[in-house]
Chains A and B, each alone.
Chain A
Amino acid sequence: MAASAAVTANYVLKPPPYPLDALEPHMSKQTLEFHWGKHHRAYVDNLKKQVLGSELEGKPLEHIIQNSYNNGDLLPPFNNAAQAWNHEFFWESMKPGGGGKPSGELLALLERDFTSYEKFYDEFNAAAATQFGAGWAWLAYADNKLKVVKTPNAVNPLVLGSFPLLTIDVWEHAYYLDFQNRRPDYIKTFMNNLVSWEAVSSRLEAAKAASA
């Protein structure tokens, strides 16, 4: 999903682009069933209820996110809207047989902006591991540069003025069934086995086009 894609008026719980058991053994079917089937579904359902009859009804999801972010003084729809967006972005950030090092232009840019893939890996890991409480870690693009960002709760780079390229959910519900308290193990598994660099590349192309 490109960062600039318009979203239809009906807020939809889109299924991940793979069956719920396809990420095993790295992320269990049970996790997907709860994380997508309960948590993500609740954000979408509650958002629909929340905007019904309001001036936000029917507006694109990204519009609702920016509007309700309200420069950090969050309005009620923000949590549901941003979390609905974040989770769809998260499923699409992963793929079966993913992970490892990217190649081509993406690798070149990571090496340019982080010195090496390993330095990027460490920085992304550290951001995900040190986000206090609930939140997300991101690879983002802004001012023709790649950077790692961590955000609390539902906040995402859209409201911080940059293009999200990759994310990992570090709310405890994302990893508790498979890893319990071991967030660092979850992050490593995500990096080594789940990241869809194809998705990251296509998002980067869209971001560059949008910035041109």
Chain B
Amino acid sequence: MSIGVYIIFLSVLAMSLDVGRGKTTMDPCLESMKTASLPDLPYPYDALEPAISEEIMRLHHQKHHQTYVTNYNKALDQLRSALANGDHSSVVKLQSQIKFNGGGHVNHAIFWKNLAPVHEGGGKPPHDPLSSAIDAHFGSLEELMQKMNTEGAAVQGSGWVWFGLDKELKRLVVETTANQDPLVTKGSDLVPLIGIDVWEHAYYPQYKNARAEYLKNIWTVINWKYASDIFEKHNRHLNEV
């Protein structure tokens, strides 16, 4: 499941809002709209220890992420009905449920890929071209990590800290988002490379109130290969222009 679902949703919404002319049959796009499902973790629940405990990984994946998926699908179901009935005020009212639960699903699906066991490259610094780009934008990898730690620690309440690529301006950024807002809510050209969950559920059983400690330790299991792959994919497109 990717950001693509937002594009699908927006275009379906646009098409259906045209249906004020009293069509009674459901748009075929709505009928074939896929539901979200919980992706498998790419590693065992204990694979990220000692940085992130097995207990946290089980709760985080099987309970929190699963709940976002379940509630997102519920909201999509309600959206389908509202669209079919031309009930536009319900369509609008459902947006916060969709943004919260859909965002939760999208963000966590990225997060599991952002992490890797040490023996599978977790914590291994990125290679070029991402490595040089990081040095150019932030001075060094350490400075990037420091910036993310500072901003992540400063998030009031629940949210995420992101390392992203602005594919339009061709620069790397560090941003934070509140609750389950995906990075794209901070800029439509932003692509997430690494996201770190700073909701308390992401660290509480192991670290309690010590969010700074969690942020310090998570770097040992960050999957820079994933970030590099995404970066290079967009770099290729940029260079082809």
Cβ contact within 8 Å between B157 and A173 = no
Q: Give, as a whole number of angstroms, the nearest-CB distance from A58 to chain B.
A: 25
Collect the chain B residues with CB atoms within 8 Å of residue A42's CB: 209
Within the complex, which residue of A34, A38, A154, A172 is in contact with B201, where a contact is CB–CB below 8 Å?
Answer: A172
Collect the chain B residues with CB atoms within 8 Å of residue A79's CB: 156
Check A153 for interface membership: any CB of B closer than 8 A.
yes
Check B12 for interface membership: any CB of A closer than 8 A.
no
Check A16 for interface membership: any CB of B closer than 8 A.
no
Collect the chain B residues with CB atoms within 8 Å of residue A134's CB: 156-158, 200
Given the known inter-chain contacts A133-B199, A172-B201, please indicate yes or no for A180 contacting B59, CB distance below 8 A: yes
Cβ contact within 8 Å between A135 and B157 = yes
Given the known inter-chain contacts A34-B208, A173-B200, please indicate yes or no for A133 contacting B158, CB distance below 8 A: yes
Check B204 for interface membership: any CB of A closer than 8 A.
yes
Q: How many residues of B contact A (CB 8 A)?
A: 20
Collect the chain B residues with CB atoms within 8 Å of residue A173's CB: 200, 204, 208-209
Collect the chain A residues with CB atoms within 8 Å of residue B201's CB: 172, 176, 180-181
CA distance A132 to B200 in the complex (A): 13
Check A15 for interface membership: any CB of B closer than 8 A.
no
Within the complex, which residue of B64, B157, B159, B179 is in contact with A181, where a contact is CB–CB below 8 Å?
Answer: B64
Q: Give, as a whole number of angstroms, the nearest-CB distance from A92 to chain B.
A: 22
Q: How many residues of A contact B (CB 8 A)?
A: 19
Check A26 for interface membership: any CB of B closer than 8 A.
no
Cβ contact within 8 Å between B59 and A181 = yes
Cβ contact within 8 Å between A171 and B200 = yes
Cβ contact within 8 Å between B200 and A176 = yes
Cβ contact within 8 Å between A34 and B63 = no
**What does the 1/0 interface line of A62-73 toward B look like (CB < 8 Å)?**
000000000000
Check A108 for interface membership: any CB of B closer than 8 A.
no
Collect the chain A residues with CB atoms within 8 Å of residue B44's CB: none
Cβ contact within 8 Å between B209 and A34 = yes
Within the complex, which residue of A135, A154, A172 is in contact with B200, where a contact is CB–CB below 8 Å?
Answer: A172
Q: For residue B178, which residue of chain A has the nearest CB?
A: A133
Q: Give, as a whole number of angstroms, the nearest-CB distance from A136 to chain B.
A: 11
Cβ contact within 8 Å between A132 and B100 = yes
Collect the chain A residues with CB atoms within 8 Å of residue B159's CB: 133
Collect the chain A residues with CB atoms within 8 Å of residue B180's CB: 132-133
Q: Give, as a whole number of angstroms, the nearest-CB distance from B108 to chain A.
A: 13
Q: For residue A135, which residue of chain B has the nearest CB?
A: B157
Interface of chain B residues 59 through 83 with chain A (CB within 8 A):
59, 63-64, 67
Check B205 for interface membership: any CB of A closer than 8 A.
yes
CA distance A132 to B63 in the complex (A): 16
CA distance A135 to B159 in the complex (A): 13
**What does the 1/0 interface line of B82-111 toward A look like (CB < 8 Å)?**
000000000000001000100000000000
CA distance A23 to B61 in the complex (A): 31
Cβ contact within 8 Å between B64 and A176 = no
Cβ contact within 8 Å between B205 and A176 = yes
Q: Give, as a whole number of angstroms, the nearest-CB distance from A178 to chain B.
A: 11
Sampled A-B contacts (8; CB under 8 Å) = A39-B209, A132-B96, A172-B158, A172-B204, A173-B208, A176-B205, A181-B63, A181-B64
Known A172-B158, A180-B205; further 7 A-B contacts with Cβ < 8 A? A132-B96, A133-B157, A152-B157, A171-B157, A176-B201, A177-B208, A180-B201
Q: Which 10 A-B pairs have the closest CB atoms?
A: A134-B157, A133-B158, A172-B200, A153-B157, A133-B179, A181-B63, A176-B204, A38-B209, A134-B158, A173-B200
